[in-house]
Amino acid sequence: MAESKKLPARDEDFANWYNEVVQRSELADYSPVRGSMVIRPWGYGIWENMQSALDKMFKETGHENAYFPLLIPLSFIEREKEHVEGFAPELAVITQAGGKELEEPYVVRPTSETIIYSMYAKWVQSYRDLPILINQWANVMRWEMRTRLFLRTTEFLWQEGHTAHATAEEAEDETQLILDVYRRFMEDWIGMPPLTGLKSESEKFAGAVRSYSCEALMQDNKALQAGTSHFLGQNFAKQFDLSFQSEEGQEEYAWNTSWGVSTRLVGGLVMSHGDDNGIVVPPRLAPVQVVVVPILTDEDTEPVRAKTKEIVAKLSEAGLRVKDDSRENLSPGAKFYEWEGKGVPFRIEIGPRDLAQGQLALARRVTPVGEKRKAFLPEGQVIAELPAYLEKFQVELLDTARARRDENTVRGVTSVDELEEALEHGAGFVFTGWSGDPAVEEEVKERTKATIRVLVSEEFRSEESPDRCLSGQGASVHEVAWARAY
């Protein structure tokens, strides 16, 4: 991260700040392919750590990984009416290959329900073959008109889980299980606490019966749909003849779910924790948790270099991800600037004076109120306690994000006027009652540019749930959370 002019101020131009900080911190860059991005090693390292953590969580809940083709017959997409209508504007269609016109066009996968359930139909004959619990790590393509690095690109990386079950109850339990996995991952690893709940009919996934979502609040008080889990019912099973013989000997269609999170989570991390100096990476996801910078002078540098290597070795043995930055072509200040911009949680500095006094200078990427940015501590204390410091840092990021979300959530709003006023004054989530009437939802969306992010789940409901719809017409059937969103 080469030193350059100051970043745009977040509170003045958040969008420009985001674009600048993603590129300056070397997370990603624009590619020659329209709407697509190059994920650079630092950004991909964060994504790899996300993958590793999520993959472990999926496998702990009984899921396996597989891989399905990138190209899907167009006829497959067209079988499910709502599905094709939902994705038609975003499809990339291949009509020629090998110098010839194809007999049937292929679609570059926008999502894999169709091809996966066509395969499940081959593999399932009896209830004994169920459930199928498969996840795929892959890339997908959706032709986007307006793109932004990580948040919305034509091609992106994700995982997509697709399961088949003998009963609707089992499928619904699966949908809720994964929603909770996502919530725990976002809280425990990203430090990004989401609201969870059911999507309205207008906001659900194309082809689903019900969609559940994790909605996180960014620093500009816009919501980010960070992950979704869908109960598909038997819609796709009927289209692809995914049927089985039940225990009672009856021929029945399987019940399906699908669920996914993507590299959008890296964008969510940036917008949750970044500051005017760059990004801030939670320790559990940081490719480098601690960088050690030797302060070399004109004196004999070998003792400092040797101590640097020793410190790095000891911290590595303790299980930390450590970087020795002994580059000679950069000044210590340039190194500090680079690693701070990349969001490394801790920096250790060591020079001749520190060596003489048996101490290390330990600098935190984010400094709690009332504490000093840099502390000079005995070497042994740093080695022994740095793992605990990292865990404390991780917890503090979550606590800060949760406090910000709650401070920017407005409850008890009873009218569209109040909703609009709250949003204009910078509110994030606004809780209201809703009758369930889609006409009310559409009217509010047109007037305020806010959408229903979720029908609020029990965990997040207000102590006194609203009894009237914000339209003033009819009783409230649901408490909902509105927000302007990405």
CATH, residue 92: 3.30.930.10
pLDDT the model gives residue 76? 92
Give percent of the chain above pLDDT 70.
99
**Is there a single domain that holds both residue 413 and residue 379?**
no
The alpha-helical segments, DSSP class H, found in 250-364 are 264-273, 302-317, 332-341, 352-357
Residue 9 in any domain: the answer is no
How many domains does the chain divide into? 3
Among the three residues 273, 298, 325, which one is the final residue of a domain in this structure? 273
Residue that finishes a domain, picked among 366, 392, 418: 392
Q: Same domain, yes or no, for 90 and 169?
A: yes
Same domain as 146, residue 58: yes
User: By percentage, how much of the chain surpasses pLDDT 90?
Assistant: 91
| 366 and 442 together in one domain | no
In this structure, is residue 285 part of a structural domain? no
pLDDT band of residue 459 (cuts 50, 70, 90) is very high
Helices (H), 71-167: 74-79, 81-87, 113-123
For residue 206, the model assigns a pLDDT of 87
* 256 and 148 in a common domain: yes
> Are 221 and 310 found together in one domain?
no
Torsion of CA 226, 231, 234, 236, to 10 degrees: 0
CATH number of 303's domain: 3.40.50.800
Q: Residue 83: is its pLDDT beyond 90?
A: no
pLDDT digits over 10-64, tens only?
Answer: 999 999 999 999 999 999 999 999 899 999 999 999 999 999 999 999 999 999 9
Same domain assignment for residues 352 and 233: no
Q: pLDDT tier at 461 (50, 70, 90 boundaries)?
A: very high
Q: Which of 78-92, 207-221, 385-399, 432-446 has the lowest mean pLDDT?
A: 78-92
Q: How confident is the model at residue 406 (pLDDT cuts 50, 70, 90)?
A: very high
Mean pLDDT for the stretch of residues 392-405 = 98
Mean pLDDT over residues 375-400, rounded? 97
> What average pLDDT does the segment 416-430 reach?
98
- When the pLDDT of each residue in the chain is averaged and rounded to a whole number, the result is 95
Judged against a pLDDT cut of 90, whether residue 287 lies above it is answered with yes
Residue 468, pLDDT > 90, answer: yes
The answer to the question of residue 143 being in a domain is yes
Looking up residue 448, the CATH number of its domain turns out to be 3.30.110.30
Three-class SS state of 401: helix
**Are 223 and 353 within one domain?**
no
Q: Residue 446 is which amino acid?
A: E
User: Which H, E and C letters describe 206-248, residue by residue?
Assistant: CCCCEEEEEEEECCCCCEEEEEEEEEEECHHHHHCCCEEECCC
pLDDT surpasses 70 at 1 = no
Question: Residue 281 CA to chain centroid, in angstroms?
Answer: 13
| pLDDT for the residue numbered 297 | 83
Whether 193 maps to a domain, the answer reads: yes
Q: Is the dihedral of CA 303, 307, 308, 309 positive or negative?
A: positive
The answer on 221 and 88 residing in a single domain is: yes
Q: Does pLDDT of 210 surpass 60?
A: yes
Inter-residue long-range contacts of 420-426, CB under 8 Å, 24+ positions, other chains counted: 420/447, 420/448, 423/448, 423/449, 423/450, 423/482, 423/484, 426/221
Name the band, by pLDDT with cuts 50, 70 and 90, for residue 2. very low
pLDDT of residue 146: 85
In this structure, what token pair is assigned to residue 344?
A: 């490394």
Q: Model confidence over 141-164: pLDDT tens digits? A: 999 888 899 999 999 999 999 999
Where does the pLDDT of residue 223 fall: very low under 50, low under 70, confident under 90, or very high at 90 and above?
A: very high
Is residue 198 helix, strand or coil?
Answer: strand
Per-residue tokens: 286: 């940081």
> Which residues make beta-bridge pairs with 278?
275
Residues 206 and 268 in one domain: yes
If asked whether residues 224 and 197 sit together in one domain, one would say yes
Q: Which tops the pLDDT comparison, 373 or 452?
A: 452
In a domain, 398, yes or no: no
For residue 188, the model assigns a pLDDT of: 98
The conformational region for residue 141 under phi > 0 = left, psi -120 to 50 = alpha, else beta, is beta
Q: What is the pLDDT of residue 85?
A: 75
Q: How confident is the model at residue 331 (pLDDT cuts 50, 70, 90)?
A: very high
pLDDT over 80 (residue 259): yes
Q: What is the pLDDT of residue 86?
A: 72
Q: Where does a domain end: 273, 308, 331?
A: 273
Query: Is 90 exceeded by the pLDDT of residue 182?
Result: yes
Q: Answer whether residue 121 is part of any domain.
A: yes
Q: Which range of residues forms the domain containing residue 454?
A: 409-483
| CA separation for the pair 479, 458 (Å, rounded) | 10
For residues 280 and 202, the answer to whether their CB atoms sit within 8 Å is no
Asked whether residue 54 falls in the same domain as residue 201, the answer is yes
Residue 168 is assigned to a structural domain of this protein: yes
pTM equals 0.95
Q: What does the pLDDT average to over 180-188? A: 98
Say if 141 falls within a structural domain: yes
